[in-house]
Amino acid sequence: MDATSDIQETHERVMNQQLASGGTLLGRLAALALAAAIFVGCLLLWIGIPLAWIWGASQLVTEYPAVYALAIVGCPATMVGWGWCLHRINTLYLRVSGAEPDAEPEGRRSAWLKSLSAERGKRRHPLSVLELSSIASVVIALLSIAIWFFFFAEMHLAPL
């Protein structure tokens, strides 16, 4: 019975190593699907949730100030919850793709915390899938609202 448990432990260790290294086709497909889910989730975070709150609040309340007040309260709370879900998906992605979420290099700091002169020679770390997706989705959201505002919104300017 002891040999059977040793074989099972060895098998589990080998399977975890293969899954973590992305060596299997299934592991690679899972990592790709999780990366796509992270990107779509980031788009929902910055575009879908605010639009859904404004639309949903306008269906519940008829006065415009109340619509925006309801959206201002509900939207950030929903975004925090969805951000936590994205964090969990990112943790799963890091495990499936072979990078450990807690395997941060010692002393790694955010760019805004670094001195400009003291650490110039050091190389910056590559962006993670979640960081890259967040940046891209914010840029897409800002471009979308600028295009809507300048080209599609009805503007009634007061005469000078």
What is the helix, strand, coil percentage profile of the chain, to 5? 75, 0, 25
CB atoms closer than 10 angstroms to residue 21: 11
pLDDT surpassing 90 at residue 15: no
Q: Is the pTM of this model over 0.75?
A: no
**Residues 41-72 pLDDT 10s:** 999 999 999 999 999 999 999 888 888 899 99
Task: Judge whether residue 134 has pLDDT over 60.
Answer: yes
Distance (Å, whole) CA 77 – CA 45: 11
- The larger pLDDT score, comparing residue 102 to residue 133, is at 133
Q: Which of 8-12, 63-67, 95-99, 129-133 has the lowest mean pLDDT?
A: 8-12
Work out the mean pLDDT of the chain and round it to a whole number.
81
pLDDT tops 60 at residue 119: no
Closest CA to 37 of 6, 69, 82, 101: 82
- Range of lowest pLDDT (21-25, 91-95, 96-100): 21-25
Percent of the chain, pLDDT > 70?
Answer: 67
Mean predicted confidence (pLDDT) in 71-83: 95
Between 117 and 27, the more confident residue is: 27
Q: What is the per-residue pLDDT for 125?
A: 72
Confidence of residue 104 (pLDDT cuts 50, 70, 90): low
